[in-house]
């Protein structure tokens, strides 16, 4: 294979650079150097200064929240939203309906209701005649009228 690289003509430089590039190179380099050195000698920013924007934002949110809370407290509207009222009312009503009642109380109430009920004479006589014996009736009579 013919040695194409042995021809030194192609080793001539085919590249060019913009006019005046090398003349201005030192100035640009020294300017960059000065900028980097200034940056390096500047004191580092303290942590609070880095966090300042975030802290300001957080403080603003806290202030807005505080103001809103204050206004609602002063106007007594805090906790009286639509949803809260409905659920509170429901809870109170439910509590009243499911008040615990003892079994004894229940029977006492039932007995008194029975006692107060009006019984007609005929029903009563029928009941006594069919359900009780003669002896039972005599005993009741004795208890009622002999006191």
Partner 1 sequence: MTDQEILKLYREGGREEAFRLLVQTYKERLYWHIRRMVLDHDDTDDCLQNTFLKAWRSLANFRGDAQLYTWLYRIATNETLTFLARQQTRGEYAGLDAADRLPTDPWFDGDEVQTALHKAIAKLPPKQKAVFNLRYFEEMPYEKIADVLETSEGALKASYHHAYEKVKTWMKEALDAKY
Smallest distance from partner 1 to CB 41, Å? 14
**For residues 25-44, which are near partner 1 according to CB under 8 A?**
25-26, 28-30, 32-33, 36
Q: How far is it, in rounded angstroms, from Cα 114 to Cα 67?
A: 64
Residue 22 binds to partner 1 (criterion: CB under 8 A): yes
Smallest distance from partner 1 to CB 22, Å? 6
Find how far residue 29's CA is from the centre of its chain.
60
Smallest distance from partner 1 to CB 38, Å? 14
| Among 8-16, 43-51, 77-85, 123-131, the segment contacting partner 1 (CB under 8 A) | 8-16
Smallest distance from partner 1 to CB 45, Å? 23
Find how far residue 33's CA is from the centre of its chain.
57
Q: Which residues of 78-110 are buried (b: 16+ CB within 10 A; e: fewer)?
A: eeeeeeeeeeeeeeeeeeeeeeeeeeeeeeeee
Q: How many CB atoms lie within 10 A of CB 132?
A: 13
Please give the residue ranges that form the binding site for partner 1 (CB under 8 A).
1, 3-5, 10-18, 21-22, 25-26, 28-30, 32-33, 36
């Amino acid at each position: 294979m013919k040695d194409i690289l042995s021809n030194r003509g192609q080793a001539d430089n085919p590249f060019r650079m913009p006019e005046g590039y090398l003349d201005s190179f030192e100035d640009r380099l020294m300017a960059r150097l000065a900028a980097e050195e200034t940056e390096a000698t500047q004191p580092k920013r303290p942590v609070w200064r880095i966090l300042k924007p975030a802290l300001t934002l957080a403080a603003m949110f806290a202030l807005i929240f505080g103001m809103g809370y204050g206004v609602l407290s002063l106007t007594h509207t805090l906790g009286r939203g639509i949803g809260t009222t409905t659920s509170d009312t429901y809870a109170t009503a439910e509590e009243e309906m499911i008040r615990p009642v003892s079994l004894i109380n229940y029977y006492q109430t039932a007995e008194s209701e029975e006692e107060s009920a009006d019984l007609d004479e005929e029903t009563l006589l029928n009941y006594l005649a069919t359900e009780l014996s003669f002896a039972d009736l005599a005993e009741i009579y004795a208890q009622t009228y002999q006191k």
